[in-house]
Structure 1
Amino acid sequence: MNLPIEFEKKMKAFLGNEWEEFLYSYDNNRFQALRFNTLKVGKNKSVEEEIAGIMDKLGIPMDKKVTWANDAYYYDEKKRPGKHPYHEMGLYYIQEPSAMSAAALLAPKPGMRVLDLCAAPGGKSTQLATYLGDSGLLVSNEINTQRSRILSQNIERMGIKNAVVTNEDSFALAAHFPNFFHAIQVDAPCSGEGMFRKLPEAVNEWSPQNVEICAARQKEILDNAAVMLKPGGVIVYSTCTFSREENEDVIEYFLNEHPDFTVVKMERFWPHKQDGEGHFVAKLVRRGELLLEETVSTQDRTGSIAEDTLEKRKSSGKKDNKKSKKSGGKENMELLNEFLDAILTDDMAEWIRNGKLVMFGDQLYRLPDIDVDLKGLKIQRAGLHIGEFKKNRFEPSHSLALALKKSEAENTVELTCDDPQTNGFFNGLSIMLTQEQADKCKKGWVLVCVDGYPAGWGKVNGTQVKNHYPKGLRNKI
């Protein structure tokens, strides 16, 4: 690989006698890893048993773990687990192994308010969600609009119920959320020196000037993160670059500017020392006592849908505006209850009913159970997307399907990953039922499951299940 001359000079001076070993690492193959999603895996058996069964079906041995992350394993890139139905159902997330170190260092506890400030494409957010479980609040932010959509899609795929995806800069969030979060992840935009093997274009974009620009931006982002952190809270700062200017120097600047913080751990992951592309992580703790608030009471919310209170996307056209005015009416609640009572178990139906339900146009969302003021923010996803109200009917969302467990649905169809109809389902084809299967299914909405894991919605009519897998996600397998 032809590295920038200025980069080589800098790294030779920085690494000394390790330079040759570091340079040699660029001639090796990249390391590939996947991290299991314990929001889905480990609900029927132990996590270890379920992972072993999934890995066996993927044809991937479990002989090499990513030692610094939970439930993460290396794999040979020839296996292509990203093309398997299990990936589409969110059973695991494919992630650069050393990048898993940052969320593992933050390791938030259930019930916390957590911010992932620079979150796209979602690796760290989806990892943080496994620590929170279904409790607390995860705000995943990405300033780039297109990347925030990708982030939102990954939050959906992994079945995360308690996440809000925002599309803001750090200044706007700091003004909106002063002294609010218990834990903040700052995976800062950087010069990407650790991405040279993965993205050759990163080599061409690198320059000493870009390093300086990145360092200045990183300091601003960290300053804004400090505004949002509660006393006793934790910030984990990370980059995928080797530059001292963007790593140790940024931390030194931050500690000088914020004397109420201490650094409790700083670590570098090098491609010639660890099996990964490289990462820098630092854990910063604010002095004070960290208090976790109780989740808000939902007793006064039962059976109601709030008016449009948040700004997601501007409604366009008279038709949309008319529908927005009707949101929260008895008609919509009746349609929702009809679906919940017919398709979901009582406990899951009550969890949805008892949540804070809000509308964006015709779209229904359930906000996380921790109160969070989102007015005035650009929102890509406000908690769990439940579904859409159409003329005289309610249509459940793909997000809801992937957030469910099979046991939480009353009407299900079971496929296996080896069944030819499974690939057909992910590509938009209808499912043909045996008479025995048809006899067990009620007419109407049905949760299609593969090997016991929800994959999406269908609609039963006799011995046929009409496909409702989202068109934009088809043809990926």
Structure 2
Amino acid sequence: MSNHYTNNKINNQLSPLVQQALERYRTFLSRDEFTQLTTFLIKPIIPSVRINLLKQDPKEFIGSLKMRYRWEVQPVPFCSSGFWVKSPPEEISATIEHRMGFYYIQEAVSMLPVELFDFAKNPKPLILDMAASPGGKTTHLADKIGDQGLIIANDASRSRIQALRVILENWGVMNAAITCQNGSYFGEQYPDSFDYVLLDAPCSMENLRNSASHSMRAITSSERRQLANRQLNLLRSAIRTVKPSGQVIYATCTLSPEEDEAVVSAVLDEMQDIITLDDVSTKLPTPAPALRWDGSRRYPDDMEKALRLWPHIFGTSGFFSARFTKIQSIKKKSRSSTHQERASFSKRFSQLQKKDTKSLWQYFQTSYGFNLEQLLERQMLSLWSRGKEIWAIPILLFEIFPTLPLVSAGMHIAKIIPGGYLPSHAFIARFGTQFQFGNLTLEDSLIGKWLRGEDLAGYEAKDYKRGNIVVITDKKGRNLGRGKVLTDRLKNLLPSRLF
């Protein structure tokens, strides 16, 4: 009687959508597991962050955030740069560190897919993020490979591209390009081309938790079938476009078997001579096997190699993920000649002349003690111009994908202005703390104004000339973007989107 009362009390705190979904999943779990799940679901979601490894050391940086903002943090067990932030005194989105791209607010479970790749064998890989927007997993990919190689961040929705651009810029990613294509395009146009493919597939989002980014909604059986068909088609394309011995991650933020185990089972049946399902269970400290039976169908025994994260296991939203390795090519079709002309993106740019390249190198060396030439060589980037703007674009992009239609690529480095250059915010945010000089440290009393985007009237920068562009820091060493020294003030050059 007591258990019945307790269960009713818990159910009354859950939304009708969650209760309905739970009834579907009751038979997949033991009684104890189901009780653990329902008990967990009434608890609030703990926010989590992932530290930007391109800009910070995760252990040192999370330590500074704990002290500065009185955070209580707990490591995410399957992501060394991920941390839960328990009961933060203020919104974790309100800090300057977040606005400057030093960490990304991301549900802990969404950190899992990228961690499942094995990058050890290929330090400078070609990667396709097939459904990339808003870009959290793309930035995670860039972190894992040290922004080496090349990432093609694709999204089929034109309306989602701007968000993707902003996230990659804020993170400081250089070796990436953005495309807007249907996912099937890559399997058709670029078979056997990528070392790794991430497919974070569009899904029903039936993850048993409501959040700002993944809110549950009513879903019909017809919609489930349509989603499953779309997911299977995208997964086929991902497998076609990955190279033999390359890896594909299939992930969804739903617990619906029709979109998870059923899709994996279908592609294994179709391509049993082409792919293998990898055992990724060792990536987790606690077992989280996929289903072998969903109440209406039985799946192969090795389906347990895939991962089904019920929310109560790690304190997350529900999630599913599987990794495939391609063992041989699919019988090739003749590639369409739709895009044999030079990509339209590169038509808008021209490669920077040698004298202009040397001039830019010299500017960064004399103004900041920063070796731009060495950076470009290490990152395999070349300089291109578009009007007054100078961009660093991955060399691999034009070597391997010269006809790929692009939305954007690389990083905006600087703008040509009278008497010199204006380094971009993205470049300063990533590399400013590495400058040997050209830095200006503000007094604590001025930080509030600066972080509100205000100019500092009457400020005298004694060591600098009028027109100098300086990297602004505070006494804690935080990078606070760019400022321009003027006669009567220090002009704030932080982008308006940060406020």
For Structure 1 versus Structure 2, the TM-score category normalised by the shorter chain is 0.7 to 0.9
1:388 to 394, 407, 415: 415
Amino acid in the other structure paired with 2:278 = V
1:464 maps to which residue? 489
Identify which range, 327-336 or 407-416, moves more after superposition: 327-336
Q: Distance in 1 between matches of 2:436 and 2:347?
A: 34
Larger of the two Rg values belongs to structure: 2
Matched, 1:118 2:131: yes
1:37 maps to which residue? 52
Amino acid in the other structure paired with 1:238 = A
Matched, 1:58 2:84: no
Amino acid in the other structure paired with 1:204 = R
Amino acid in the other structure paired with 2:426 = S
Q: Distance in 2 between matches of 1:310 and 1:438?
A: 48
1:133 to 135, 142, 146: 146
What are the equivalent positions in structure 2 for 1:109-188 lying under 5 Å apart? 109=120, 110-188=123-201
Q: Distance in 2 between matches of 1:358 and 1:95?
A: 33
What are the equivalent positions in structure 2 for 1:89-104 lying under 5 Å apart? 89-104=100-115
Measure how far apart 1:362 and its partner are.
Answer: 4.3
Change (3 A) 1:24 1:179: same
1:273 maps to which residue? 313
SS in 2 for 1:83: coil
Measure how far apart 1:176 and its partner are.
Answer: 4.0
1:233 to 240, 246, 249: 246
1:219 maps to which residue? 232
After superposition, what is the alpha-carbon deviation per residue over 1:371-420, rounded to whole angstroms, capped at 9, x for unaligned?
A: 4455554434311221334677643322212221412363112247xx34
1:73 maps to which residue? 83
Q: Distance in 2 between matches of 1:456 and 1:402?
A: 6
Amino acid in the other structure paired with 1:348 = L
Identify which range, 330-339 or 452-461, moves more after superposition: 330-339
2:271 maps to which residue? 258
Identify which range, 180-189 or 421-430, moves more after superposition: 421-430
Amino acid in the other structure paired with 1:98 = V
TM-score (norm 1): 0.82
Matched, 1:355 2:385: no
1:87 to 92, 95, 98: 98
2:463 maps to which residue? 439
Matched, 1:26 2:33: no
Matched, 1:368 2:387: no
Q: Distance in 2 between matches of 1:433 and 1:409?
A: 26
Aligned residues: 439
Q: Distance in 1 between matches of 2:35 and 2:172?
A: 44
1:49 maps to which residue? 60
Measure how far apart 1:331 and its partner are.
Answer: 8.4
Matched, 1:12 2:38: no
What are the equivalent positions in structure 2 for 1:408-419 lying under 5 Å apart? 408=435, 410-415=437-442, 419=444
Aligned residues of 2:344 and 2:406 also touching (Cα < 8 A): yes
Measure how far apart 1:369 and its partner are.
Answer: 4.3
Amino acid in the other structure paired with 1:446 = V
SS in 1 for 2:197: strand
Measure how far apart 1:174 and its partner are.
Answer: 2.9
Change (3 A) 1:14 1:209: farther
Change (3 A) 1:113 1:3: same
Identify which range, 25-34 or 232-241, moves more after superposition: 25-34
Measure how far apart 1:20 and its partner are.
Answer: 4.5
Q: Distance in 1 between matches of 2:411 and 2:67?
A: 32
Identify which range, 351-360 or 226-235, moves more after superposition: 351-360
* Residue segments in structure 1 that go unaligned for 5+ positions in a row: 290-307, 316-323
Q: Distance in 2 between matches of 1:251 and 1:185?
A: 14
Matched, 1:189 2:202: yes
Aligned residues of 2:72 and 2:87 also touching (Cα < 8 A): no
Matched, 1:448 2:475: no
Aligned residues of 1:327 and 1:361 also touching (Cα < 8 A): no
Aligned residues of 1:218 and 1:246 also touching (Cα < 8 A): yes
Change (3 A) 1:98 1:217: same
Aligned residues of 2:47 and 2:85 also touching (Cα < 8 A): yes
SS in 2 for 1:204: coil
Q: Distance in 2 between matches of 1:179 and 1:344?
A: 43
Q: Distance in 1 between matches of 2:131 and 2:252?
A: 11
1:243 maps to which residue? 256
Q: Distance in 2 between matches of 1:193 and 1:261?
A: 28
**How many percent identity over aligned positions?**
24
Amino acid in the other structure paired with 1:48 = K
Amino acid in the other structure paired with 1:351 = L
Aligned residues of 1:58 and 1:81 also touching (Cα < 8 A): no
Q: Distance in 2 between matches of 1:200 and 1:472?
A: 20
Change (3 A) 1:16 1:195: closer
How big is the alpha-carbon RMSD for the aligned residues of Structure 1 and Structure 2? 3.2
After superposition, what is the alpha-carbon deviation per residue over 1:232-275, rounded to whole angstroms, capped at 9, x for unaligned?
A: 11111111000111111111111122222111131111112221
Change (3 A) 1:86 1:413: same
Amino acid in the other structure paired with 1:37 = N
Aligned residues of 1:364 and 1:387 also touching (Cα < 8 A): yes
Measure how far apart 1:313 and its partner are.
Answer: 10
Measure how far apart 1:181 and its partner are.
Answer: 1.3
Amino acid in the other structure paired with 1:250 = V
Change (3 A) 1:350 1:67: closer
Q: Distance in 2 between matches of 1:201 and 1:328?
A: 43
Q: Distance in 1 between matches of 2:148 and 2:358?
A: 28
Amino acid in the other structure paired with 1:186 = L
Amino acid in the other structure paired with 2:309 = F
Aligned residues of 2:156 and 2:181 also touching (Cα < 8 A): yes
Change (3 A) 1:386 1:55: same
Amino acid in the other structure paired with 2:275 = F
Amino acid in the other structure paired with 1:180 = S
* Residue segments in structure 2 that go unaligned for 5+ positions in a row: 1-14, 280-305, 330-340
Q: Distance in 2 between matches of 1:224 and 1:148?
A: 21
After superposition, what is the alpha-carbon deviation per residue over 1:280-319, rounded to whole angstroms, capped at 9, x for unaligned?
A: 1111112269xxxxxxxxxxxxxxxxxx96534998xxxx
TM-score (norm 2): 0.79
Matched, 1:429 2:454: yes
Measure how far apart 1:7 and its partner are.
Answer: 3.3
